[in-house]
Amino acid sequence: SFPLFTLNTGATLPSVGLGTWQSSDEDAYKAVLAALDCGYRHIDTAAIYRNEEPVGRAIRDSKVPRSELFVTTKLWCTQQREPEAALDASLKRLGLDYVDLYLMHWPVCLNVDNVKDDNYLVIPTKADGSRDVDIEGWNFVKTWEHMQKLPQTGKTKAIGVSNFSINNLKEILKPELGFTVPAANQIEIHPQLAQDELIDFCKSKGIVVEAYSPLGSSSSTLLSDPEIAEVADKYKVEPAQVLINWGVARGYCVLPKSTNPKRIESNFKSFNLSSEDTQRVSEITKKLGVKRYVDPNWKPFKAFV
């Protein structure tokens, strides 16, 4: 089975967890139940996924003891000025007393003061087409400062970040600030976005790396790549398993998303990908090119430099 990793808080987390981005309502509920049933103990969600309610309900209905589970949720960009209230709201939706890890979803604070409904994804657009997302006098460093006090409330065991570049991390790690080192950085990683430099940087700081979209998300061509298929055939596994085990072999957490019970189960099977084959999979990018599957034109990504 897959190994456990240890956070800088001393807590352990399973190296493979269920991703739930783009799983809504009953799909998310069924996916989490199926995952817990076949042995997953690590579930990843976020306020913006809008599925914390069914995810939490599945966790409670599964009857798996809470202490055996590792649950992550994330602070959405529009609530960066009030992380504790946002965490309270997430816990309420999840129906849980605490999460194991609370992540700042993006190093971007979005101003949606003009938005009347609670649709976090609608960002006000100015007449000239630009989006006014900045908030004067606020940035992600300040958000991180405010997140410092969350672990002592008991509402989350650890705090971390997501979509942080090396430059973003350096900002919050400045020694004179004296801030907590993030327990984790969750980023997009797959063979077309191997992120070697960022992974090495995180490891050097004791920050656990977590990979989202490890299969290349829903528009991936990785799963149908002939070379990945060849490696899969060699080990008598499926292409998705090659991609998941490639990540674990490289020393980080992998969060494959699926709502299909059969795929949820097969994604959870570990095998030893040799270092030669790990290298071979890494080289796929030479043929396919670098690709970000998470839309790089969406405004917040502009901060990811």
Is 105 marked as binding a ligand? Answer: yes
Which helix (H) or strand (E) segment holds residue 30: the answer is helix 25-37
Q: Which is nearer to ligand A2P, 107 or 214 (CB)?
A: 214
Report the alpha-carbon distance of residue 62 to residue 66 in Å, rounded: 10
Q: How far is the CB of 170 from ligand A2P (least distance, A)?
A: 28
User: Hey, what are 35's tokens?
Assistant: 């995952």
Catalytic residues: 49
Binding footprint of ligand A2P on the chain (CB under 6 A)? 19, 213-218, 223, 238, 240, 256-260, 263, 266-267
Residues 206, 8 contacting (CB under 8 angstroms): yes
Both tokens of residue 156? 């989350």
Q: How far is the CB of 269 from ligand A2P (least distance, A)?
A: 10
Torsion angle of C-alpha atoms 262, 264, 266, 271, degrees rounded to 10: -170
Of residues 56 and 216, the one with the C-beta less far from ligand A2P: 216
Q: How far apart are CA 186 and CA 209, in angstroms?
A: 6
Q: Least separation, in Å, of the C-beta of 105 and ligand A2P?
A: 16
In sequence order, what are the residues at sequence separation of 6 or more whose Cβ sits closer than 8 angstroms to the Cβ of residue 200? none
Binding site per annotation, positions for substrate:
105
